[in-house]
């Protein structure tokens, strides 16, 4: 406002001439009241009337400190420069009610004339235990008055905060101001005093303004000496009012404000701050759908800090993020803010989300269709709910493969960055979020090792191909595999997001996350380094708004497919299989734990060894055999032998009373399925015949599918290691990996049985170590046949 500034300078220079004239009156002026020189009075009045008091009073950085009484009897408000214009230093501390009143009024003056959030306040009152701030409880509750120090530890904290403010301003990360009000300061230590002086020195230009009561010698301050009946104002540091040291017209301090006035004004300002600081989910996540360009990075608003809205980026500088916080600290909500923000800013063709949740509970249910709500986020390509570690690994490996694919395309196009690739091909940026990712890396087993390797590849190279990781965890301390690789992997995660209770997300010497409240987060884009922190407030998620966003997205992108969902806890049934996934020579056993949940269906071809052994005592394997058989009929002739008495045989299956009967004159293209094969009751000749069928059957379309509840019995029945190749496909249930080594080999020792999963070993495939599958089980509600006592007796 150059006009105003020029006007002010003119007015002030007129005022500054007055004391000079007083000075010329010499000693007479001091000795006894002289008759007023009418020219002086006229000059004072002229100067006073030329001031635009409305403008001056509206300036937050002109503190009202009382008024000057002119010789004519008129008064003019004293408004001293503050902030960049200097600090304010009063000769008495706020235990003097007049001083307290002045400091309190000055503070309210600043807050009332600046935008909410533009000024933070901290205080010290060690001499009166915070009494000077008592009327400002509402401001404290609203977070405007951030801390009042009443002891040495508090003083240190307040000085820390002010120093951080200076550092942030110097680094260009904040443009708000911090007002430090020292109401009283009992016996400051030398070190603390030096820190205050340093703050006074550099704070003026870098965002810290001090009102110092009882510290008249503070540097860079307009000093006011308070006498019994009046006060004297010294020259403001940046704006001399007079050629002398002090301003000769005495100052009358403002009358002491009532505490009820102070409290009601504080409450008004607190309400205003609260309202302005409340960021709603709908502010971050608009209903309309955006089409921002992902070429140079993804940007998403996640909340607000002191200087306004905060947007974070996935780009070359912050390609991968690490998020931490205690349970209940708001991690899920933060992720919802982030992901819904991305989904409303970018088209599904430009951003692809892969969401993995390794904890119990359904964090990502807001992205997928459910029974009650068919809407979903079309950007989500794959969602793992209570994911197996193997599923997480499969997703990471799929992302690595996608990077390889993109690298080949980029090579062909002669480009070396994702941004350049986007000029030719519309590959989406990929954001993969793994919640409680430490589960994936727990221990030092095969999955952990492979997951670390995949993470490392993506972390190192993802930025070039537009692939980004967000790893979230309640704790990082248990992640042995990752700690071992700490430097190599964590170094690739410059973006650190620390929620309340986060321990190891920031550097060990950085305690910025301490004292965060729910809804606040520390964002640090320098790998958690101390001093690079922004405290950001993010909104709570809103179910109704999320649903409205999903509905809108589903309307706008009606062609987008729903995400592939992996429910770690849900059983699968053959009835969910697509027509092309079963029948013919496909033996549908379940689904692989992979990104596409591909069908696990070994082929029953005429090659040697194409027989199946289901191994383990869990009843679910019997149900898997039921599904396998059901998938074959009616295309294949199936003869079933149930030695358990518990099988539910599908329609169209022929029954045989025993394996011996089933093996009589077997026609070509016949499948023999046996439940409880260890109870076959074959004699020596029968066993020979059985082994012969295993060996020679497949070439004429005859296959044996058998469920053995004991591995040793299976090994004996097929003739030990000599018959191993005759049964090339095995589905292993409850048998621990250690017991598999003898028959299958060392590479299967990793298998640890668990409910709802089985290990598919196909000696003719390339999968070293087998593949984890979710075997098909019997749909609930299928009646068990009457169980005969004899059958039961034979099992146990
Ligand atoms: N910004 C916020 N403002 C207000 N309330 C919030 C905010 N963020 C989270 N909450 C509330 O805090 C509670 C816990 O949040 P959330 O479920 O996100 O935590 P979490 O860290 O994911 O916990 P857990 O890991 O145990 O699931 C919820 O009731 C949520 O509504």
Q: How confident is the model at residue 385 (pLDDT cuts 50, 70, 90)?
A: confident
Same domain for 59 and 199? Answer: yes
Neighbouring residues of 316: CB distance < 8 A, sequence distance ≥ 6: 297, 463
Task: Report the pLDDT value the prediction gives residue 19, as an integer from 0 to 100.
Answer: 47
Are 153 and 78 found together in one domain? Answer: yes
- Tokens found for residue 147: 């801390």
Name which residue sits closest to atom 8 of ligand 1, judged by CA.
Answer: 330
CA–centroid distance, residue 470 to ligand 1 (Å):
18
What pLDDT score was predicted for residue 442?
79
Beta bridge partners of 759: 732, 772
The pLDDT value given to residue 279: 80
Distance from the CA of 660 to the center of ligand 1, in angstroms? 63
> Alpha carbon of 74 to those of 11, 13, 49, 318: distances in Å?
17, 19, 10, 62
Instruction: Tell me whether residue 625 is in a domain.
Output: yes
Shared domain check, 125 and 261: yes
pLDDT reported for residue 5: 41
Please give the residue that has the higher pLDDT: either 545 or 581.
545
Distance 140 CA to ligand 1 centre (A): 24
Which of 324, 330, 470 gets mutated to test ligand 1 (max ligand atoms within 8 A of its CB)?
Answer: 330
- Domain shared by 661 and 612, yes or no: yes
| Residue 325 annotated as lining a ligand binding site | yes
Write down the pLDDT at residue 679. 94
| pLDDT level of residue 477 (50, 70, 90 thresholds) | low
Q: Output the residue whose Cα is nearest ligand 1's atom 16.
A: 330
643 located within any domain: yes
* Ligand 1 centroid, distance to 775 Cα (angstroms): 36
pLDDT confidence band for 644 (50 / 70 / 90) = very high
What pLDDT is recorded for position 785? 45
Q: Is 295 inside any structural domain?
A: no
Within this chain, do residues 115 and 237 fall inside the same structural domain, yes or no?
yes
Give 309 Cα–ligand 1 centroid separation in angstroms: 21
Name 658's Cβ contacts closer than 8 Å, sequence gap at least 6. Answer: 641, 643, 680, 681
CA distances from 765 to 403, 601, 743 (A): 25, 12, 17
For every residue of 393-452, DSSP letters joined together read HHHHHHHHHHHHHHHHHHHHHT--SHHHHHTT--PPEEEEEEETTHHHH-TTSHHHHHHH
pLDDT band at 6 (very low <50, low <70, confident <90, very high): very low
Q: How many domains does the chain have?
A: 3
Convert the pLDDT of each residue in 303-339 to its tens digit.
988 667 899 999 999 999 999 988 888 999 999 999 9
User: pLDDT band at 104, cuts 50/70/90?
Assistant: very high
Q: How are beta strands 637-642 and 670-675 bridged, if at all?
A: parallel
Q: 696-743, pLDDT tens digit by residue? A: 999 999 999 999 999 999 999 999 988 999 999 999 999 999 999 989
Q: Is 326 annotated as a binding residue?
A: yes
Bridge partners of residue 147, in order along the sequence? 122
Is residue 538, in this structure, part of any structural domain at all? Answer: no
Domain residues for 582?
574-795
Q: 611 and 553 in one domain?
A: no
| Judgement on whether residues 269 and 360 belong to the same structural domain of the protein | no
- Kindly report the CATH number assigned to the domain that includes residue 654: 3.40.50.300
**How confident is the model over 484-506, as a mean pLDDT?**
80
Lowest mean pLDDT among 24-33, 54-63, 612-621, 753-762: 24-33
771 annotated ligand binder: no
Q: Tell me which of 54 and 133 has the higher pLDDT.
A: 133
Percentage of the chain exceeding pLDDT 70: 88
Flag whether 513 is in a domain: no
Q: Which pLDDT score, from 0 to 100, does residue 247 have?
A: 64
pLDDT of amino acid 49: 67
104: Cα within 13 Å, side-chain hemisphere: 31
Share of the chain above pLDDT 90, in %: 60
State the sign of the Cα–Cα–Cα–Cα dihedral 114, 117, 119, 125: positive
Residue 280 Cα to ligand 1 midpoint, Å, equals: 15
CA 480 to centroid of ligand 1, rounded, Å = 27
pLDDT band at 531 (very low <50, low <70, confident <90, very high): confident
Q: Can you read off the two tokens belonging to residue 111?
A: 């807050």
Q: Are residues 614 and 763 in the same domain?
A: yes
Residues having CB within 6 Å of any atom of ligand 1: 325, 327-333, 518-519, 538-540
Asked which of 206-210, 369-373, 407-411 is least confident by mean pLDDT, the reply is 369-373
Q: Is residue 288 part of a domain?
A: no
Report CA torsion sign: 462, 464, 468, 469.
positive
Tell me: do 202 and 337 sit in the same domain: no
Distinct helix (H) and strand (E) counts, the chain: 24, 31
Q: Which residue has the higher pLDDT, 361 or 11?
A: 361
> What does pLDDT average to over the chain?
87
Atom of ligand 1 minimally distant from the CA of 333: 18
Do residues 620 and 560 share a domain?
Answer: no
Mean pLDDT of 539-558: 94
The pTM (predicted TM-score) of the whole model is: 0.69
Closest CA to 586 of 562, 566, 569, 603: 603
Q: What is the pLDDT of residue 207?
A: 94
Reported as a single tens digit per residue, the pLDDT across 146-191 is 999 999 999 999 999 999 999 988 988 777 899 999 999 998 899 9
**Ligand 1 atom 12: the closest Cα is on which residue?**
330
Binding residue per annotation — 328?
yes
| Residue at 773 is within a domain | yes
pLDDT score, position 40: 61
**How large is the average pLDDT for residues 215-234?**
92
Q: Distance (Å, rounded) from C-alpha 144 to C-alpha 123?
A: 11
Shared domain check, 766 and 634: yes
In a domain, 232, yes or no: yes
Determine whether 483 is exposed, middle or buried from the number of CB atoms within 10 Å of its CB (0-12, 13-18, 19+): middle
Q: What ligand 1 atom has the least distance to the C-alpha of 363?
A: 27
In 3-state terms, the chain is what percent helix, strand and coil (to 5)?
40, 20, 40
Contact criterion met (CB below 8 Å) for 300 and 505: no
Residue 32 pLDDT class (50, 70, 90 cuts): very low
**Mean pLDDT calculated for residue range 415-438:** 94
How far is 775 from 89, CA to CA, in rounded Å? Answer: 78
Distance, in Å, from the CA atom of 442 to the CA atom of 484, rounded to the nearest integer, reads 12
- Ligand 1 binding pocket mutation candidate from 143, 328, 338, 545 (most atoms within 8 A of CB): 328
Q: Which residue has the higher pLDDT, 500 or 125?
A: 125
| pLDDT for position 37 | 65
- Tell me how crowded residue 704 is: count the other CB atoms within 10 A of its CB: 26
Pair 604, 548 in one domain: no
> In 584-710, which ranges are continuous DSSP H helix?
619-632, 659-662, 684-696
pLDDT score, position 31: 40
Residues 6 or more apart whose Cβ sits within 8 Å of residue 11: 47, 50, 51, 52
Distance CA 301, CA 312 (A): 6
pLDDT of 243 higher than 50: yes
Would you state the pLDDT for residue 241?
A: 66
């Amino acid at each position: 406002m150059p006009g105003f500034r020029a006007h002010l300078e003119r007015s002030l220079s007129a005022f500054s001439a007055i004391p000079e004239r007083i000075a010329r009156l010499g000693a007479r002026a001091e000795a006894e009241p002289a008759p007023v020189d009418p020219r002086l009075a006229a000059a004072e009045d002229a100067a006073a009337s030329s001031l635009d008091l409305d403008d001056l009073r509206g300036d937050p950085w002109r503190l009202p400190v009382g008024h000057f009484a002119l010789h004519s009897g008129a008064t003019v408000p004293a408004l001293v420069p503050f902030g960049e214009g200097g600090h304010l230093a009063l000769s008495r501390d706020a235990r003097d009610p007049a001083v307290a009143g002045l400091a309190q009024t000055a503070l309210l003056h600043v807050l009332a004339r600046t935008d909410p959030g533009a000024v933070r306040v901290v205080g010290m009152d060690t001499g009166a235990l915070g009494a000077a701030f008592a009327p400002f409880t509402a401001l404290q509750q609203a977070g405007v008055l951030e801390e009042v120090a009443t002891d040495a530890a508090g003083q240190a904290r307040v000085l820390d905060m002010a120093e951080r403010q200076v550092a942030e301003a110097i680094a260009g990360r904040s443009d708000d101001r911090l007002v430090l009000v020292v109401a009283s300061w009992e016996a400051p230590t030398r070190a603390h005093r030096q820190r205050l002086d340093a703050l006074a020195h550099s704070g003026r230009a870098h965002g810290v303004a001090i009102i110092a009561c009882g510290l008249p010698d503070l540097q860079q301050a307009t000093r006011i000496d308070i006498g019994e009946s009046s006060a004297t104002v010294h020259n403001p540091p940046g704006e001399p009012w007079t050629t002398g040291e002090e301003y000769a017209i005495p100052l009358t301090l403002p009358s002491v404000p009532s505490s009820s006035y102070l409290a009601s004004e504080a409450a008004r300002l607190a309400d205003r701050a609260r309202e302005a600081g409340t960021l709603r989910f709908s502010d971050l996540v608009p209903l309309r759908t955006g089409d921002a360009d992902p070429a140079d990075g993804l940007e998403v608003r996640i909340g607000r800090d002191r200087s306004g809205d905060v947007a974070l980026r996935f780009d070359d500088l912050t390609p991968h993020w690490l998020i931490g916080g205690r349970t209940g600290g708001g991690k899920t909500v933060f992720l919802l803010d982030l992901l819904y923000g991305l989904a409303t800013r970018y088209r599904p063709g430009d951003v692809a989300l892969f969401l993995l949740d390794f904890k119990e509970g359904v964090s990502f249910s807001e992205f997928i269709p459910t029974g009650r709500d068919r809407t979903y986020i079309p950007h989500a390509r794959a969602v793992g709910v209570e994911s197996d570690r193997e599923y997480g690994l499969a997703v990471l490996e799929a992302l690595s493969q996608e990077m390889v694919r993109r690298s080949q395309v980029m090579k062909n196009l002669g480009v070396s960055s994702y941004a350049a690739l986007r000029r030719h091909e519309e590959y989406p940026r990929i954001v993969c979020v793994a919640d409680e990712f430490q589960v994936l890396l727990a221990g030092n087993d095969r999955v952990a090792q492979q997951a670390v390797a995949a993470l490392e590849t993506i972390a190192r190279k993802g930025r070039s191909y537009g692939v980004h990781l967000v790893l979230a965890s309640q704790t990082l301390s248990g992640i042995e595999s990752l700690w071992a690789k700490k430097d190599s992997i964590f170094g690739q995660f410059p973006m650190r997001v620390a929620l309340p209770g986060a321990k190891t997300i920031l550097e060990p010497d950085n305690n910025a996350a301490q004292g965060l409240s729910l809804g606040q987060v520390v964002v640090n884009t320098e790998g958690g380094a101390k001093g690079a922190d922004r405290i950001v407030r993010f909104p709570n998620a809103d179910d109704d708004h999320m649903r409205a966003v999903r509905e809108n997205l589903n309307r706008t992108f009606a062609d987008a497919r729903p995400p592939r969902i992996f429910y770690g806890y849900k059983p699968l049934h053959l009835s969910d299989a697509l027509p092309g996934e079963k029948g013919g020579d496909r033996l549908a056993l379940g689904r692989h734990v992979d990104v596409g949940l591909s069908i696990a269906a070994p082929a029953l071809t005429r090659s040697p060894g194409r027989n199946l052994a289901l191994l383990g005592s869990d009843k679910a394997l019997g149900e898997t055999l039921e599904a396998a058989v059901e998938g074959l009929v009616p295309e294949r002739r199936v003869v079933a032998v149930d030695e358990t008495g518990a099988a539910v045989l599908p329609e169209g299956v022929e029954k045989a009373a025993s394996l011996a009967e089933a093996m009589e004159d077997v026609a070509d293209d016949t499948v023999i399925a046996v439940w409880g094969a260890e109870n076959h009751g074959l004699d020596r000749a029968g066993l020979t015949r059985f082994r012969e069928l295993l060996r020679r059957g497949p070439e004429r379309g005859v296959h044996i599918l058998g469920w053995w509840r004991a591995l040793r019995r299976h090994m004996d029945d097929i003739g030990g290691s000599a018959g191993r190749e005759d049964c090339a496909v095995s589905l292993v249930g409850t048998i621990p990996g250690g017991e598999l080594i003898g028959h299958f080999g060392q590479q299967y020792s990793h298998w640890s049985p668990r409910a709802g999963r089985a290990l598919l070993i196909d000696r003719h495939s390339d999968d070293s170590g087998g593949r984890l599958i979710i075997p098909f089980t019997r749909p609930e509600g299928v009646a068990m046949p009457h169980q005969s006592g004899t059958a039961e007796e034979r099992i146990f």
